[in-house]
């Protein structure tokens, strides 16, 4: 009979996979609940495929787990919470997930905490949206409250006509969030790990480069003014406290030309901008997520080397065949770590894996990571 703790993970994508790998390394066991068969969770522990909105299925899944966590803000933490078996904790709390899941509510909570955000308005009608855009000035971002990722669900409107088009495409019963354009010079991100007993560590401020609204590259640390980095950390920490995030909470930020920091959005889980931590830091975001939800001591978020660069491997076509012809060649690039997520299908833009390189010269490190990622992605 094995008595090591069993950690339950709601969801079976790459974030669940890498969380499980960190847990397994520390001798823990993992159990996934996924709504449909998942490549990334395959072979890492017990995988329950079932209707994860069904309280009975959720309860059975959680039975025997001292802790259950989520790998996605869409995981049904709120359905699980009321039926949690005795002796099982859920971290982050369902309430944290509920706040973050709804972009309107998330903004209101952060604004009430006095945190810096682009101006925003929760608009239920097109007329309200046009009036808000008039107040903010064009361009504005239209955002669905729920269900967006990688920029799906967002629309940049540069004129009232464009706003009408975007509204017709995206608006749901409760309308859309209208957000002032943030004239950023850089996008940054900060990860915070927090445990239920209040221990907290903050990862370095990273630079994140988006292409087509999707994270493409992350460089740690961001090459920014130390005062700006300090402000980014202050804002991130306060934002995570405002939503009472437990485990890893990621904070996406905009840096403006005058050094001001605005919050873009939060994620109540490990994040793409933290994959570099696996090789780049003493304790990865995934390991600290596991330690935090178990209320175990947190590890150091410090960088092991001066620079780490992570580049995503994005799919380039649609197929059920994953062609890894480029992998051996990528592995010839010195000092890169290749991560592939075991997904069963490839689609254009889909995150299939990532590459991390570390070293001391940012340009050289970035070149290695990009070369290796491209060698793999060209066949995907
Ligand atoms: P993801 O899941 O990839 O984080 P998402 O679909 O939730 O993304 P957002 O984070 O809201 O979308 O926006 C995606 C990108 O669009 C941002 O990283 C940024 O590049 C751009 N963006 C979002 N809001 C604004 C804004 N107010 N001003 C300028 N650019 C913005
Ligand atoms: Mg985002």
339 and 206 in one domain? yes
CB 365 within 8 A of CB 280: no
266 and 302 in one domain? yes
Regarding the beta carbon of 148 and ligand 1, being less than 6 Å apart is answered yes
317 and 170 in one domain? no
Q: How many domains does the chain have?
A: 3
Query: What would the two tokens of residue 109 be?
Result: 């909570």
The residue contributing the CA closest to ligand 1 atom 21 is 213
Regarding the beta carbon of 154 and ligand 1, being less than 6 Å apart is answered yes
The residue contributing the CA closest to ligand 1 atom 7 is 149
- Residue where one domain finishes, among candidates 153, 180, 207: 180
Write the CB contacts of 177 (distance below 8 Å, at least 6 apart in sequence): 103, 104, 107, 120, 121, 122, 123, 142, 143, 144, 145
The residue contributing the CA closest to ligand 1 atom 16 is 213
Tell me if 112 is assigned to some domain. no
Regarding the beta carbon of 159 and ligand 1, being less than 6 Å apart is answered no
The Å distance, Cα 93 to ligand 1 centre, comes to 25
The Å distance, Cα 264 to ligand 1 centre, comes to 7
369 and 270 in one domain? yes
326 and 285 in one domain? yes
SS3 call for 330: helix
**Dist CA 217 CA 374 (whole Å):** 12
Regarding the beta carbon of 183 and ligand 1, being less than 6 Å apart is answered no
| pLDDT tens for each residue of the chain, 380 residues long | 556 899 999 999 999 999 999 999 999 999 999 999 989 999 999 999 999 999 999 999 999 999 999 999 999 999 999 999 999 999 999 999 999 999 999 999 999 999 999 999 999 999 999 999 999 999 999 999 998 877 788 999 999 999 999 999 999 999 999 999 999 999 999 999 999 999 999 999 999 999 887 889 999 999 999 999 999 999 999 999 999 999 999 999 999 999 999 999 999 999 999 999 999 999 999 999 999 999 999 999 999 999 999 999 999 999 999 999 999 999 999 999 999 999 999 999 999 999 999 999 999 999 999 999 999 999 99
CB 343 within 8 A of CB 321: no
Tell me if 104 is assigned to some domain. no
Q: Please state the separation of Cα 69 from the chain's center in Å.
A: 14
SS3 call for 153: coil
Task: Find tokens 């991390």 and name the residue.
Answer: 356
131 and 48 in one domain? no
**CATH label of the domain that carries residue 221:** 3.30.470.20
354 and 207 in one domain? yes
- Beta strands 154-157 and 184-194 are unpaired
170 and 239 in one domain? no
Tell me if 111 is assigned to some domain. no
Tell me if 169 is assigned to some domain. yes
Domain span holding position 174? 119-180
Regarding the beta carbon of 72 and ligand 1, being less than 6 Å apart is answered no
Instruction: Report phi then psi at 27, rounded to 5.
Output: 85, 10
Query: What would the two tokens of residue 125 be?
Result: 């009608």
Regarding the beta carbon of 212 and ligand 1, being less than 6 Å apart is answered no
């Amino acid at each position: 009979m094995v008595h090591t703790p069993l950690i339950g993970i709601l969801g079976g994508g790459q974030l669940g996979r890498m969380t499980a790998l960190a847990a397994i390394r520390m001798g823990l066991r993992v159990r996934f609940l996924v709504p449909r068969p998942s490549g990334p969770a395959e072979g890492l522990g017990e995988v329950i495929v079932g209707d994860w909105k069904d309280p009975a299925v959720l309860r059975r899944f959680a039975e025997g787990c001292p802790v259950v966590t989520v790998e996605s803000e869409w995981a049904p933490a709120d359905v699980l919470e009321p039926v949690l078996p005795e002796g099982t904790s859920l971290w982050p709390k369902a309430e944290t997930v509920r706040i973050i899941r709804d972009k309107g509510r998330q903004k209101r909570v952060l604004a009430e905490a006095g945190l810096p955000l682009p101006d925003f308005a929760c608009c239920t009608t097109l007329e309200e949206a046009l009036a808000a855009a008039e107040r903010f000035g064009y361009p504005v971002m239209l955002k669905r409250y729920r269900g967006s990722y990688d920029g799906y669900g967002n629309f940049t409107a540069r004129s009232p006509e464009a706003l009408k088009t975007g509204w017709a495409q995206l608006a749901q019963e409760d309308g859309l969030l209208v957000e002032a354009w943030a004239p950023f010079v850089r996008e940054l991100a900060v990860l915070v790990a927090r445990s239920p007993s209040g221990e907290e560590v903050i990862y370095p401020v990273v630079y994140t480069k988006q292409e087509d609204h999707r994270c493409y590259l992350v460089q740690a640390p961001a090459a920014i003014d130390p005062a700006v980095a300090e402000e980014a950390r202050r804002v991130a920490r306060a934002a995570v406290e405002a939503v009472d995030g437990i485990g890893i909470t990621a904070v996406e930020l905009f840096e403006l030309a005058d050094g001001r920091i605005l919050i873009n959005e939060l994620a109540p889980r490990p994040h793409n901008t933290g994959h570099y931590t696996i090789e780049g830091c003493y304790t990865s975001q995934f390991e600290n997520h596991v330690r935090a939800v178990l209320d175990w001591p947190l590890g150091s978020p410090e960088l092991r080397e001066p620079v780490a660069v992570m580049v995503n491997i994005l799919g380039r076509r649609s197929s059920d065949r994953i062609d890894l012809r480029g992998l051996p060649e990528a592995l010839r690039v010195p000092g890169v770590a290749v991560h592939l997520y075991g997904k069963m299908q490839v689609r254009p833009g889909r995150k299939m894996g990532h590459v991390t390189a570390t070293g001391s010269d940012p340009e050289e490190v970035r070149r290695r990571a990009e070369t290796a990622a491209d060698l793999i992605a060209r066949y995907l």
